[in-house]
Structure 1
């Protein structure tokens, strides 16, 4: 059970076992229909089991981090960036970060689940017939997340828990990396697809580091948390985030066909839009009553 505390956005104890509607289902379907992606599925399942232990009994941060690091290193070792081996270490760091940022962003009804439905559907759409295994794997995760979303939005009867959010983050990064390595999409495509999640979690972390705060502790400083606090409700804010995510995915898919550096220019423009939205939230937050 997830027990509400001073930093929670919910008000009553809620089961946090919804990840088991996503992690085992999604990874087992990947193993069944996308066998070339078995390393990714097995590592995601490992993270799900590790996170389930953490959900039930609690694990020290060093053990959790060691597990996340092992999964990232194993994936990169099994599928190294052969054209740029010097990128191996940054990719490992990125995979560990995206695994955790998804967990950071799992704090509002329907937010993480909806982002998974949209983001992995974007992967499946772009993989299409060019890489059937990747397409089916992404579609399986999106469908599993949609099943979970039925019970998480608009009113949350169950939460993902770490057993769902950590593997989802790893799969978002891992499938994105796999698609890049198999030349299904360029390196920037996964960043574009999950840009709202990455922006919120990364900017919030940097701001907390600059203020000298303990960034690993729970808090209510994410943009989505502030937006919900000011709106006084989850649903309109989460639907807005879904719309922003869908617009970003549409731009990412359309940018694939652009020549030269134009896709990076579009991505930069999209990040500026997200930065402007973040600035607006910060500005309004300074004049909003505490919640």
Structure 2
């Protein structure tokens, strides 16, 4: 067992991210569009450094690999990297996500009763992580907290190898964050965000199958991303908006636009990520009723936060309209 894997992952990611951001010109650049919260082009090469860091750390844990996680994540990484460079049709990307999810289901030996829910969970987690990668420090921070809590739960279950695999992902995210926290010098790109979303789902399924946590645990750990993306999608569908169009209506995007900025928004999200992860670990020691009560309270918390931000956003728009009319 190598306890150096997380350290290697962090250092390799940190070094490669620095090297890949030395040049401000190149093929993989994030150009501002309707979804962006930035004006100037920023390199989208962070995913390359991140995956290199993860795999470097995982080399020391080779005999503990689950092929049905490693192979599909590498496939998604390559597919998403091509998308970053050349652009791929949404249908092609979605087919790749479904294929990766099917491989996990077959490799993990999921019961037929759970096949469809698990398939949809993996695909949605993969996509929503990409949706939530739109502000400095957000996606890297969620990976740092989320996979660290996965690792702690693995240690609680007595599986050091499983824990180190997850800690390596979290450590790589920490190495990436050094250059991604506000003001960001590099973005993950689809190659990074899609890979992290898939790993969050795949390890969530693996830990559930191993008996380290119930099915709700990964959802609660990553709930800051799950709730924001899901509620935003539901609102846009209710408003009959074109779901495939770029937008800036996620709750975290609205906080940035209302004046919180990237730094304050990220710090507030970190508090939420830490709280949801700690409570998820705590809930593992509760009975079914206690777990249900805790999940219900988190539902109340998220509904309250969403209503508060929606109300503040309406006031923000009204004020902007008054300023525009006065001008």
Larger Rg: 2
Q: Residues 189-210 of structure 1, C-alpha deviation per residue, up to 9 Å, x if partnerless?
A: 1011011100000010111111
Distance 2:294 2:286 in 1: 10
- Partner residue of 1:67? 96
**Comparing 255-264 with 57-66, which one deviates more in the overlay?**
255-264
| Unaligned ranges ≥5, structure 1 | none
Work out whether 1:273 is the aligned partner of 2:301.
yes
| Aligned match of 1:122 | 149
User: Equivalent residue for 1:199?
Assistant: 227
Is the Cα–Cα contact under 8 Å of residues 114 and 146 in structure 1 kept in the other structure? yes
The answer on 1:235 being equivalent to 2:263 is yes
1:103 aligns with 2:130: yes
What is the aligned counterpart of 1:50 among 72, 75, 79? Answer: 79
Taking the aligned partners of 1:216 and 1:246, their CA distance within structure 2 comes to: 31
Relative to structure 1, the CA distance from residue 265 to residue 133 in structure 2 (aligned partners, 3 Å threshold; closer, same or farther) is same
Kindly state the Cα deviation for residue 31 of structure 1 after the two structures are TM-superposed.
5.0
CA contact (8 A) 1:120 1:172 kept: yes
Cα deviation, residue 216, structure 1: 1.6
Change in Cα spacing, 1:193 to 1:81, as seen in structure 2 (3 Å) is: same
Q: Which one of 71, 77, 81 corresponds to residue 106 of structure 2?
A: 77
Pick the aligned partner of 1:171 from 177, 191, 199: 199
With over 3 angstroms needed to count, the CA separation of the structure-2 counterparts of 1:27 and 1:43, relative to structure 1, is farther
Contact persistence 1:95–1:170 (CA under 8 A): yes
Structure 1 residue matching 2:227: 3-state secondary structure: helix
Which range moved further: 211-220 or 157-166? 211-220
Contact preservation (8 Å) 1:110, 1:152: yes
Please point out which of 139, 149, 161 is paired with 1:133.
161
| Superimposed CA distance per residue, residues 65-105 of structure 1 (whole angstroms, 9 cap, x where no aligned partner) | 010000000110111224xx211111111100000000000
| Alpha-carbon distance in 2 for matches of 1:7, 1:120 | 27
Kindly report which structure 2 residues correspond to 1:181-196, keeping only aligned pairs within 5 A, or say none.
181-196=209-224
1:40 counterpart residue number: 69
- Kept in 2, the 8 Å contact 1:68–1:96? The answer is yes
1:213 offset after TM fit, Å? 1.0
Count of residues in correspondence between the two structures: 289
Indicate if the aligned counterparts of 1:48 and 1:166 stay in contact, CA closer than 8 A: yes
- Gap regions ≥5 residues in structure 2: 1-28, 322-327
Runs of at least 4 residues of structure 1 off by over 6 A?
Answer: none
Following the alignment from structure 2 to structure 1, what is the Cα–Cα distance between the partners of residues 303 and 59?
39
1:88 match: 115
Tell me how large the CA RMSD over aligned residues is: 1.4
